[in-house]
Amino acid sequence: MKNNKIVIYIGLVAIGLLLGWLLFSGSSNEQTEHNHDEVAETNQMWTCSMHPQIMQPEPGDCPICGMDLIPAETSADGLLADQFKLTENAMALANIQTSIVGNGEIKDNTIKLSGKIVINEDETATQPAHFNGRIEKLYINSLGQSVKKGQAIAQVYSPELVTAQQELITAYQIKDSQPELYKAVRNKFKNWKIDNSQLSEIETTGIIKTQFIIYSHVSGVVSEITVNEGVHVMDGRPIFKVTNLATVWANFDVYENQISLFKKGQEVMISTNAYHNKEFKGTVDFIDPLLNTKTRTVTLRVVLTNKNDVFKPGMFVEGYINGKSSSKGQILVIPSTAVLWTGKRSVVYVKTHSTQPVFEIRKIILGNKIGDNYEVLEGVNNGDEIVTNGTFTVDAAAQLQGKKSMMNKDGGKTMTGHEGHLGMDNNASKKESDLTNMNERLEVSVKFQEQLKVVYNDYINLKDALVTDDVKKASTNATNLLNNLGKVDMKLVSDNNAHTHWMSLEKEIKSASITISKTTDIKIQRDHFKHLSLNLINVVQMFGVKEKVYVEFCPMGDNNKGAYWLSKEEKVINPYFGKAMLTCGEVKRLIAQ
Q: pLDDT tens digit string along 517-567?
A: 999 999 999 999 998 998 898 899 888 898 899 999 888 888 777 888 999
Please report which confidence band the pLDDT of residue 440 belongs to, taking 50, 70 and 90 as the band edges: low
Cα separation, 544 vs 451, whole angstroms: 11
pLDDT at 342: 66
Q: Which residue has the higher pLDDT, 268 or 41?
A: 268
Q: Which residue has the higher pLDDT, 302 or 340?
A: 302
List the one residue out of 278, 252, 281 whose CA is nearest residue 269: 281
Q: Which residue has the higher pLDDT, 111 or 573?
A: 573
pLDDT at 16: 53
Contacts of 201 (CB under 8 A, 6+ apart): none
List the one residue out of 557, 495, 550 whose CA is nearest residue 530: 557
pLDDT at 371: 65
Cα separation, 474 vs 476, whole angstroms: 5
Average pLDDT over residues 97-126: 76
DSSP, residue by residue, 553-581: EETTHHHHT-EEEEESSSS---TTTGGGG
pLDDT at 421: 37
Least confident of 2-6, 275-279, 452-456, 507-511: 2-6
Is a pLDDT exceeding 80 seen at residue 370? no
pLDDT at 414: 41
List the one residue out of 591, 567, 540 whose CA is nearest residue 466: 567
Cα separation, 395 vs 118, whole angstroms: 33
Cα separation, 577 vs 581, whole angstroms: 5
Is a pLDDT exceeding 50 seen at residue 75? no
Is a pLDDT exceeding 90 seen at residue 470? yes
Least confident of 104-118, 158-172, 189-203, 305-319: 104-118
Question: If you ran DSSP here, which 8-state letter would residue 61 be given?
Answer: B
pLDDT at 332: 79
Q: Which residue has the higher pLDDT, 394 or 421?
A: 394
Residues forming beta bridges with residue 224, ordered by sequence position? 241
Q: Which amino acid is at 291?
A: L
Least confident of 77-91, 181-195, 306-320, 369-383: 77-91
pLDDT tens-digit series, residues 393-409: 788 778 777 788 776 66
Q: Which residue has the higher pLDDT, 369 or 450?
A: 450
Please report which confidence band the pLDDT of residue 463 belongs to, taking 50, 70 and 90 as the band edges: very high
DSSP strand pairing (436-437 vs 586-591)? parallel
Of the segments 104-113, 187-196, 415-424, which one has the largest average pLDDT value?
A: 187-196
Cα separation, 2 vs 290, whole angstroms: 125
Average pLDDT over residues 357-376: 82
Distances (CA, A) of 180 to 184, 185, 228, 377: 6, 9, 39, 78
DSSP strand pairing (220-225 vs 385-389)? unpaired
Q: Which amino acid is at 230?
A: G
Q: Which residue has the higher pLDDT, 369 or 281?
A: 281
pLDDT at 331: 65
Least confident of 51-60, 151-160, 256-265, 285-294: 51-60
Is a pLDDT exceeding 90 seen at residue 460? yes
Of the segments 53-62, 266-275, 322-331, 473-482, which one has the largest average pLDDT value?
A: 473-482
Burial tier of 423 (Cβ tally within 10 Å: 0-12, 13-18, 19+)? middle
Burial tier of 209 (Cβ tally within 10 Å: 0-12, 13-18, 19+)? middle
pLDDT at 433: 45
pLDDT tens-digit series, residues 327-366: 444 567 888 888 887 666 788 999 988 888 889 999 888 8
* Rg of the chain in Å (alpha carbons): 38
Average pLDDT over residues 500-505: 83
Whether residue 209 contacts residue 202, with contact meaning beta carbons closer than 8 Å, is answered with: yes
Whether residue 360 contacts residue 82, with contact meaning beta carbons closer than 8 Å, is answered with: yes
Average pLDDT over residues 297-316: 88
Query: Edge-to-edge, what's the strand order for the sheet holding 563-567?
Result: 436-437, 586-591, 549-554, 563-567
Q: Which residue has the higher pLDDT, 370 or 275?
A: 275
DSSP, residue by residue, 309-330: G---TT-EEEEEEE---SSSSE
Q: Where do the H-state alpha helices sit in 157-236?
A: 159-173, 179-191, 196-205
Please report which confidence band the pLDDT of residue 36 belongs to, taking 50, 70 and 90 as the band edges: very low
Whether residue 381 contacts residue 101, with contact meaning beta carbons closer than 8 Å, is answered with: yes
Please report which confidence band the pLDDT of residue 429 belongs to, taking 50, 70 and 90 as the band edges: very low
pLDDT at 437: 46
Could you give the 3-state DSSP secondary structure of residue 71?
Answer: strand
In whole numbers, what is the pLDDT of the chain averaged over residues? 77
List the one residue out of 463, 414, 462 whose CA is nearest residue 434: 414
pLDDT at 73: 46
Is a pLDDT exceeding 60 seen at residue 302? yes
pLDDT at 59: 82
Is a pLDDT exceeding 90 seen at residue 499? no
Q: What percent of the chain has pLDDT over 70?
A: 78
pLDDT at 144: 80
Question: If you ran DSSP here, which 8-state letter would residue 109 be given?
Answer: -
Separation of CA 126 from chain center: 37
Q: Which residue has the higher pLDDT, 97 or 17?
A: 97
